[in-house]
Every structure is written in C-alpha cells, then in structure tokens.
A and B are shown apart, each in its own frame.
Chain A
Amino acid sequence: AQSVTQLGSHVSVSEGALVLLRCNYSSSVPPYLFWYVQYPNQGLQLLLKYTTGATLVKGINGFEAEFKKSETSFHLTKPSAHMSDAAEYFCAVSDNRGAGNQFYFGTGTSLTVIP
C-alpha cells in the first residue's frame, strides 16, 4: 500500500524567505512522486515530478524537490517566496505496478506568504 504524509497543514513565510513544504511517502516499490499546486477556485496544476534519474527535480515557478530514498521524503522548496506562491500544495505518490493508475494524495499544505 502507498500513502503520503504532508507535515504541517499550514505554513507561513515572509516574502523573500525560503519555502519548505514537507512530504513523506510510503511505498513498497520504487515510487513516482509529484507535487501539485491548487490556487483558489481552480484545479490542481503539476509543479514537478520525479520518475527516475536525477533525484533533484526542478519544476515551474522556481520550485524544486529532492527525492531522498533513505528518508522516504520528497520535500518541496523554493529559495525566495513570492506573494503569488500563496496556494494549497499537494504531494502525491504513484507507481507503475499492475493495471491501476491510482495516485495517492496527501491532505495538502496551505502556504501563506506575508508581505
């Protein structure tokens, strides 16, 4: 079985400060990992994904995440927060086993950026 835990349902940072959103996963097989962002009244938009290869993944809007197998983590970071980064962020895990296409999503982290 797979699952995702996002530590901290709410994170506040000052504009220009480092953004760190935490995601830990459990998976019995090599996982595929994703981060999505959801702005108010919109659907989920893909920020970045890890499938294979380089463990540091760069995404849109200056975000990046590092896959750490030993820590079963896939934390999302951005060096300098911008007001437009305020949104809900979701981590998701999936794999390529079997016929199912199921993604397992975390409960989300709401990011507030303080001017």
Chain B
Amino acid sequence: ETGVTQTPRHLVMGMTNKKSLKCEQHLGHNAMYWYKQSAKKPLELMFVYNFKEQTENNSVPSRFSPECPNSSHLFLHLHTLQPEDSALYLCASSQEGTGSRQPQHFGDGTRLSIL
C-alpha cells in the first residue's frame, strides 16, 4: 500500500546525532500518528495529531519531537537518543469525525538503530 509513505526505511545513528523521520499520507485523512514498535511489546502510541493539532502525547521523552506542518505530513525529530530507542517507528493516518471509529492506515515504518 502506498497510501502512507515513510522515509527513510532504515536509519542508523549515534546517540549524539540529530535526525528526522518523515511521513506523508496520500489518503486525505485528517489525523496522523506516531507509534513505536519494539520486540515482544504492544505498539506504543507516541503522538496524535488531529487537524494538525497535537492531541495526545503519551509521556514521550523530549528527545522525540513531532512536527505536523499540514494534514498530509508528519515528522519525528530525533536528538540524543538512547540505545533503548532502537525500534521500528510506524506512522499511521485515519479519518476522524465521521461518527464511527475508522481504521488507521500504516506506513511500512522506519527501522531505527542507535549505536
């Protein structure tokens, strides 16, 4: 599925680096999400944006900084990460406000490795 595109697909960075993950959705949705997927753990919701406004921040460390310049683009800025931040980072989008819970559509993720 190409509805939600994430770049890069793989990223290796040192703990002192600064990098950004990018997500773009082509589905006309009005909500976007960042999830962290670690082995043997449930998906962890990190951030939610509705109509470009952040509505959820699930106690995510400040070394993760989201940015949503418009309803089609979502970024996750990374700085001074820790080894335990190595994971698959998934972006998703959905259409909210329809009166029924709509499914979330996911990108293929960015595999992040912290050295």
Which A residues fall within an 8 A CB radius of B?
4, 9, 32, 34, 36, 41-46, 49, 51-52, 90, 94-96, 99-108
Q: How many A-B residue pairs have CB under 8 A?
A: 66
Task: Using A49-B103, A101-B33 as known contacts, say yes or no to A43 and B45 having CB atoms under 8 A apart.
Answer: no
Total interface residues in chain B, CB < 8 Å: 29
**CA gap between A96 and B98 in the complex, in Å:** 10
Given A43-B92, A96-B100, 20 extra CB contacts under 8 A:
A9-B40, A36-B106, A41-B111, A42-B109, A43-B4, A43-B108, A44-B92, A44-B104, A45-B1, A52-B100, A90-B43, A94-B101, A100-B55, A101-B50, A101-B55, A103-B43, A104-B42, A107-B41, A107-B42, A108-B42
Say yes or no for B48: interface residue by CB 8 A criterion.
Answer: yes
Which B residues fall within an 8 A CB radius of A?
1, 4, 6, 31, 33, 40-43, 45, 48, 50, 55-56, 90, 92, 94, 96, 99-101, 103-109, 111
**Chain B residue at minimum C-beta to C-beta distance from A44:** B106
